[in-house]
């Protein structure tokens, strides 16, 4: 087994049944992705549209690409062309653009609404209040070509495990509230993406369905 295959096996052995592993492959070469693929990994996460567009044609067709980065408006088409899921929808305007491009391409794209709960200002996403407001005025619902599957979030970059646990708990309670209030008739609103290399066990304890793990699989990124 290669180190990448070993890392994947070790993580999967600890993940509860039904929790999906997104292998975050940004900044890693296609050879590393193929090692993961050969170990059975099928969901890969990328955070730059151009990198996604260049890697996708080099990988087998059954790979599912999840876009996890801040998506600029001029890159929406590229992301829609290649991603099966866009996890990082952080505004109503972005969702409308994704819808428009998806319709043009005759596709339906799964999306997650990104919630901002971390302390860092630089992280993007809706605040809880903004998200509830946008759902209430129906800015986010009923758009063709997109299917809202759930929510994504990142915890603060901190060693304070209790802080991280509080943030994931807030995401989970917001997810449950949003599902009950706005998506009760849609069983496909079922995805809660949270947890990265350093905090995924805490995220799983708080109901994550998709963990996004890069460093713990592929090693450090070379920027
Ligand atoms: C890079 C990235 C990850 C993976 O981070 P690691 O610490 O390398 O596991 C997960 N989620 C998002 C949104 C990222 O940008």
- pLDDT, tens digit, for every residue of 129-158? 999 999 999 889 999 999 999 999 999 999
Please give the Cα distance from 72 to 94 (Å, whole number): 8
Bridge partners of 109?
146
- When pLDDT is averaged across residues 177-181 and rounded to a whole number, the result is 98
pTM: 0.97
The mean of the pLDDT values for the chain is: 97
Task: For the chain, state the CA radius of gyration.
Answer: 17
Residue owning tokens 């900044």: 27
70, 88 contact by CB (below 8 A): yes
What is the structure's pLDDT at 61?
A: 97
**Closest ligand 1 atom, residue 221 Cα:** 8
Give residue 222's pLDDT band: very low, low, confident or very high (50, 70, 90).
confident
Instruction: State how far Cα 156 lies from the chain centre.
Output: 16
Assess whether the C-beta atom of 124 lies below 6 angstroms from ligand 1. Answer: no
**Closest ligand 1 atom, residue 196 Cα:** 9
Q: What residue owns the CA closest to ligand 1's atom 7?
A: 197
What is the structure's pLDDT at 172?
A: 98
Assess whether the C-beta atom of 151 lies below 6 angstroms from ligand 1. Answer: no
Cβ burial, residue 73 (10 Å; 0-12/13-18/19+): exposed
- The tens digit of pLDDT for each residue in 36-70 reads 999 999 999 999 999 999 999 999 999 999 999 99
| Residues whose CB is less than 8 angstroms from the CB of residue 30 and which lie 6 or more positions away in sequence, other chains included | 55, 58, 59
- When pLDDT is averaged across residues 75-86 and rounded to a whole number, the result is 98
Write out the DSSP string of 124-177: -SB-HHHHHHHHHTTSSSS-TTEEEEEEEEE--S-S-HHHHHHHHHHHHHHHHH
Q: What residue owns the CA closest to ligand 1's atom 6?
A: 214
115, 128 contact by CB (below 8 A): yes
Instruction: State how far Cα 28 lies from the chain centre.
Output: 18
- When pLDDT is averaged across residues 9-26 and rounded to a whole number, the result is 98
Please give the Cα distance from 87 to 212 (Å, whole number): 11
Coil, helix or strand for 118? coil
Instruction: State how far Cα 23 lies from the chain centre.
Output: 11
What is the structure's pLDDT at 131?
A: 97
Check whether 108 has a pLDDT greater than 90.
Answer: yes
**Closest ligand 1 atom, residue 218 Cα:** 8
């Amino acid at each position: 087994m290669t180190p990448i295959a070993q890392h994947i096996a070790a993580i999967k052995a600890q993940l509860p049944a039904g929790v999906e592993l997104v292998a975050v492959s940004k900044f890693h070469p296609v050879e590393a992705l193929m090692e993961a693929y050969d170990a059975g990994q099928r969901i890969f996460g990328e955070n730059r549209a151009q990198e996604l567009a260049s890697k996708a044609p080099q990988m087998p067709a059954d790979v599912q690409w999840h876009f996890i980065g801040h998506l600029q408006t001029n890159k929406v088409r590229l992301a829609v062309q290649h991603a099966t899921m866009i996890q990082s929808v952080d505004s109503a305007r972005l969702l409308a653009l994704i819808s428009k491009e998806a319709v043009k391409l005759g596709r339906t794209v799964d999306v997650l609404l990104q919630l901002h709960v971390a302390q860092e200002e630089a992280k993007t996403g809706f605040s809880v209040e903004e998200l509830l407001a946008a759902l209430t005025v129906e800015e986010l619902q009923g758009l063709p070509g997109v299917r809202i599957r759930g929510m994504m979030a990142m915890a603060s970059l901190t060693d304070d495990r209790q802080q991280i646990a509080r943030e994931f708990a807030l995401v989970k309670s917001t997810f449950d509230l949003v599902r009950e209030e706005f998506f009760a008739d849609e069983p496909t609103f079922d995805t809660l993406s949270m947890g990265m290399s350093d905090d995924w066990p805490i995220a799983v304890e708080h109901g994550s369905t998709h963990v996004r793990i890069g460093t713990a699989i592929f090693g450090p990124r070379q920027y």
